[in-house]
Amino acid sequence: MMIKDVIPGFELFRPTTVAAAVALLDQHKKVAWKIAGGNDSLSWFKDRIKRPKVVVDISAIAEMKGIKETADGIEIGALTTLTDIENNAVVKKSYRLLADAAGNVASPQIRNTGTIGGNVSQDARCWYYRSGLPCYRAGGNTCFADTPEAQNREHAIFDANRCVAVSPSDMAPAMIALDAKMVIRGAKGERVVPAEEFFIGPRIDITRMTQMQPEELLVAIRIPKEWAGARFYFEKVADRNAWDFPLVNVAAAVKTDAGGVVQASRVAVGGVSCTPRRVGVAEETIKGKKVDQELAQLAGQSVTRGARPLNYNHYKVPLMANLVMRSLRDAVA
Amino acid sequence: MADYKLVGKNFTPPDMVAKVTGAAKYAEDFRAEGMLHAKLMLSPLPHARVRSIDTSAAMKIKGVVAIITPDDVPQFPPPVDPILYKEPVFAGAPILAVAAESEEIAAAAIEAIKVDFEQLKHVVDPLDSLYPGGINAFSGGNVANVQLPLQTVKWTAKDFQSFDQGKMPMGKAAEEWAYGDLDAGFKKAKVVIERSFLTAGTSHHSMEPRSNMSYWQNGKCYVHGSMQSQSFVVPNIARYLGIKPQEVVFIAEYCGGGFGSKGTGYPLIAVSGLLSKKANGRPVMLRISREEESLLGSGRAGFQGMAKIGFAENGRITAFDVFVVQDNGPNMGFWDFRNCGHSIQICFQPEAMRWRGTAVLTNTSPRGPQRGPGENQTAMAIEPMIDEGARELGLDRLAIRRINAPDNDGFDGHNAKGKLTSAFLKDALVKGGDVFKWEEKKKLSGKRNGNKVIGVGIASAFHAGGSNGFDGIVRILPDGKLYVHSGVGNLGTFSCAATSRVAAEVLGYNWDNVVIVRGRTDKHLPWMIGQFGSNTAYTASRSNYVAAMDAKDKLLEIASQQLGGASGDYDLKNERVVHKTDASKSIGFADAAKRAMELGGKFAGKELPADINPLTKASVEALAGTGLIGVAKDKLPKRGMVPALCAGFCMVELDTETGEFEIKEYLGVADCGTVLHPAGLQSQMHGGAMMGFGLATTERIVYDHQLGLPANVQFDQSKPPTYLDMPKSFHWAAVEQPDRDNPVGVKGIGEPIQGAAAGALINAISDALGGHYFHRTPVVRDMIINALAKRPQSYRALQANTM
């Protein structure tokens, strides 16, 4: 069994500008590891499972911190802490979904150090993968979480593809519901990726959870004005009320007219597949209608079609249906 | 109730300030000059044999100082937990340890050591091992426990005939006892409830990992370690180090949680000392990681079992038959399975009863006592069945518990003829019913508010709550102060301070003039039972009482010698010995202490009672002549077993769409005799209940059965309840009826608090679900969701150590 709680040595860089950070990442490419709040990285290091030669600590880059209003909405620096997002006046007023999601992450201590960039970039929590087993995601040639005996209560019910780990983030579904744009900087310049494309599954690359290449840096997240002031709903169901990953979570943004008729909506569910899962069928179901219990229930029921539960996680099917149902019902209530 | 000055009053325990300011030093906080750092190599396999160990490459690494392998450490006959394993019997079993100039070097050395393992077959579920042809978790056998010799037991295919229908197989039990006419009891019962059940094991996850730092000096090994007990652990530490108890100096002022796992000593405590010995006495720090604490810090045993209960029309239990298989982990384990029978007997006083049980080895993390070991699993398994009985009989759930609960005439023992020192569980239930407003609350049962539904539940729990026969030492020095030497340890309950106040009470001391001497065995402490088993309040109050009474006798005798008259003419008042009728005749305690030193003999500890323990004797010999010494062995009368009892009342609001529940209200009612320290009791009543909520609904040991690897060794993966999971309304009460056989009326209480809370919560959840009973704990979120959605559960019936 691995030795725990002794971090192997590495070369540490602490750039203070995005340009310097990008240059360092480009120089070291795949051997470099980005660290900000450290909540995900340090446990990998302490377990001696991930052993980067070079660590680029980006936490001192001032230009990546804070929330500013722009012509098209708001821009959140990737190093902004979850606590700052939870407490920001503009976020609370116009994009409450983000504040609600941030307030549901882990614990106050982790929210104080955890950044939005780190939260949306965090690695899978599959316990087999985290214990250092040589699974597909770790570069091996099997999935330990999808065997007849596997203990996979927290795992995926959709889109298994050699890996059944789920997106564990509470912020990620909110990003999709708000149609966030992820601003990624690399040596070749900047690219802006919609949240829905930012998160990738094992079909695209089994070793990563997002589109970002090792030499790239997530610098900011833009939340467009389009959904400002919409009706929002965030809910997370976990085993306990703090310091826990979601079993399933849901984020919904719903726009209605004065009569309560739904004009548009975006709904995403976490904890059910490797990426936060946008549930278009639910959005379709309520479009142009007034949401009541019956319609919400239909929408909820519709999203679990195609679910393929594993040994221990079929409870996620009714839970997902119920969470989508009440996100729509209670968002417009 | 007696008019006490100190007993029953709140005070600030002397260690409180250190804890809240961070000044308290735990084992890992100590540093010594030239200190080396150690790391363990853990087995990657659940079951293997070590063929060879090649340390040559590691020894060449600069900074590596010492390596110990299984051949370098004291050996014990199986199933005793080894210090280092030649036959690792669980993933994480320590194989060897390295001491180096830094942790980084020690870790690098371990990665350079080559161990040749022969992989052996493993088994994770006790029933799989009992199945014909099943695997033995240890080469020597598959059944063992304390005073249950290691042996191989396989059941028959016939025993497993109804297993696929979810029925507990019941083959040969290792032990059993019975009293009364069981068949007649079931025959006369109006309702019989028979259920198979499973309770999961849980890791301790003490906040403070069991790091230890040791060094050798002048032939003695100085050990800084994390222990909940003080004097009691010394012989065990010595045994692990392979030396005599008097060659150990054990230092532990504070303990960051033990819950039973640090009560009597454990093998890891010796690793730093054994490495230090090999490094010529250089200090060695072994820092234990969270994962190591989870795997090596021992855990609660799981149960698979069957209970059959016969109820008369009025709810009285006429017959109780219980069979339990204990998941013992790979080693000695603890006798939880025996406590299962005992707690049923005490809580429900069945007219006839049979208990059968066995303990089976698995290749999972080692088990040991954890708060209410056996009793609290039993509360979770049995209390829902009491509710089922009440439902079938149409009886009130409080009434059915009251009619079966013990009072002072209750019985104990395998022949049901033993006595109880006191029992007020009936009163606790009545008081709880009043405070919780049970009659009103039960009307809310099943009440809907949108997607929320209310459930209420009650449970009771037991653990033996006191021992006797240990020693006390108190000293009055020429500075006039009272020094209470406490050998009990400091688990974190403040009871070493609270029980010291009994000595002060006897002597009429002002608390400001009392010093508690504790924390290191070289401070000359008395032989004392460990701080475990809910016994401290009872046991230490008795030994402090007798030591103080001895000091009192000596004070009176000194006064009569000096001032004339007989001892009986004098009394103690304001830290003086004063003549009862002539107040001009008096002597202050400081002067009496000086006089004791002049007199020598018994007064100054130079003549000792013959019946005290050799460890106490050695301590008093070292203290002799320093003042007036009170020393005595507790020989106070005790008519039988001391039952610590608790009743829990819980109300939840359950969300029918998500399976989440909120604990709206929880009340625990303690039968702990005289309340010794209300604030200390409160923190126990709250902390114990929280731990019970975790036991009931979130915490468990999970293994991949195919790989034999643990799924949830990290703190966050183990999911103890958090501050946000606390009941919205959280309160407690006590019966406040003194125990008949304790000089100040106190009994212990720590353990049943947890079982009562766990049982009450499970029953409240089942009540909210309209009487859906799981018979499996913990009742985790997905089980509730599946029950609400009327879907089958994911787990296989009676399968242990799974999600």
**How far lies B244's CA from each of B221, B229, B235, B618, in Å?**
10, 18, 7, 14
Residue in the block written with tokens 């009931």: B696
Q: B16-22+467-633 belongs to which CATH class?
A: alpha beta
Contact B132, B78 (CB under 8 A): no
Confidence label for A1 from pLDDT (cuts 50, 70 and 90): low
Question: Are the C-beta atoms of B454 and B651 separated by less than 8 Å?
Answer: yes
Please tell me the CATH code under which domain B299-466+640-788 is placed: 3.30.365.10
Query: Distance between CA B145 and CA B336 in Å, rounded?
Result: 10
Residues B501-533, buried b or exposed e (16+ Cβ, 10 A)? bbbbbbbbbebeebebbbbbbebbbbbbbbbbb
Which residue(s) pair with B653 in the sheet?
Answer: B454, B662
Predicted TM-score (pTM) of this structure: 0.98
- pLDDT tens, A99-141? 999 999 999 999 999 999 999 999 999 999 999 999 999 999 9
**Could you tell me how many residues make up chain A?**
333
Q: Kindly report the number of other CB atoms within 10 A of residue B664's CB atom.
A: 18
The answer to whether the CB atoms of B791 and A318 lie below 8 A apart is yes
Of A2, A3, A323, which to mutate for an interface test with B (greatest number of B Cβ within 10 Å)? Answer: A3
CA distances from B208 to B289, B684, B723 (A): 10, 18, 18
**B35-54 tens-digit pLDDT:** 999 999 999 999 999 999 99
Residue ranges of E strands in B157-286 = 175-179, 191-199, 202-203, 212-217, 220-224, 248-251, 284-286
Q: Are B797 and B492 in contact (CB under 8 A)?
A: no
Contacts of B43 in chain A (CB under 8 A): 1
Q: Is beta strand B353-360 parallel, antiparallel or unpaired with respect to B64-68?
A: unpaired
Question: Tell me: the pLDDT tens digits for B138-185?
Answer: 999 999 999 999 999 999 999 999 999 999 999 999 999 999 999 999
User: Which tens digits make up the pLDDT trace of A135-182?
Assistant: 999 999 999 999 999 999 999 999 999 999 999 999 999 999 999 999
Q: How far apart are CA B778 and CA B300, in angstroms?
A: 13
Looking at CA atoms only, how far is residue A88 from chain B in angstroms? 23
- CB crowding B406-429: b at 16 or more within 10 Å, else e: beeebbbeeebeebbbbbbbbbbb
Q: How far apart, in whole angstroms, are the C-alpha atoms of residue B462 and residue B199?
A: 17
Distance CA B275, CA B83 (A): 12
Set of chain A residues whose Cβ sits within 8 Å of the Cβ of B789: 315, 318
What is the C-alpha to C-alpha distance for residues B156 and B175, in angstroms, rounded to an integer? 18
Report the residue from B42, B657, B717 with minimal CB separation from A127: B717
Rounded distance between C-alpha atoms, residue B81 and residue B144, angstroms: 12
Q: Where are the domains of chain B?
A: 16-22+467-633, 299-466+640-788
Residue B166 φ/ψ region, left for φ over 0, alpha for ψ in the -120 to 50 degree band, beta for the rest:
left
pLDDT of residue B288: 97
Does A4 lie at the interface with B, CB-CB under 8 angstroms?
A: yes
pLDDT, chain A, mean: 97
Residues of chain B with pLDDT under 50: 1
Query: In Å, what is the CA distance from A198 to each residue of A182, A192, A276?
Result: 7, 9, 10
pLDDT for A2 equals 72
Q: What is the pLDDT of residue A304?
A: 98
- Judging contacts by C-beta atoms under 8 Å, the chain B residues touching residue A313 are 782, 794
- What are the structure tokens assigned to A158, written together? 């959709």
Report whether the peptide linkage leading into residue B778 is cis, meaning its omega lies within 30 degrees of zero.
yes
The neighbour count for residue B443, using CB atoms within 10 Å, is: 12
* Contact status of A263 with chain B (Cβ, < 8 Å): no
| DSSP notation for A15-65 | -SSHHHHHHHHHHHGGGEEEESS-TTHHHHHHTTSS--SEEEE-TT-GGG-
Domains B16-22+467-633 and B299-466+640-788 alike in fold:
yes
Chain B (426-465) residues lying within 8 Å, Cβ to Cβ, of chain A: 451
A122 close to B (CB below 8 A): no
Q: In this predicted complex, what is the ipTM? A: 0.98
Q: How many CB pairs under 8 A join A and B?
A: 122
The answer for A 14-73 residues in CB contact with B (under 8 A) is 43, 46-48
Q: If pLDDT is split at 50, 70 and 90, which confidence band does A332 have?
A: confident
Rg of chain A on CA atoms, in Å? 20
Q: What is the pLDDT of residues A21-35, one digit of tens each?
A: 999 999 999 899 999
CB contact under 8 A, B781 and A107: no
Chain B residues within 8 A of A311 when measuring between CB atoms:
794
Across B468-569, the runs of DSSP E, i.e. the strands, are: 471-476, 482-485, 514-517
DSSP SS3 for A123: coil
Q: Which position has the token pair 């995900």?
A: A40
Q: How confident is the model at residue A224 (pLDDT cuts 50, 70, 90)?
A: very high
Q: Does B709 touch chain A (CB under 8 A)?
A: yes
Q: Within 13 Å, how many C-alpha atoms sit on residue B443's CB side? A: 3
What is residue B1's predicted lDDT score, i.e. its pLDDT? 46
Distance from CA of B103 to the nearest CA of A (A): 7
Q: Give the tokens for residue B156.
A: 């028959």
Give the residue on B whose Cα is nearest the Cα of A4: B289
> The tokens of B242 are what?
């392979």
Are the beta carbons of B290 and A237 separated by less than 8 Å? no
What gap in Å lies between CA B716 and CA B141, rounded to an integer? 35
Q: Which of helix, strand or coil describes residue B320?
A: strand
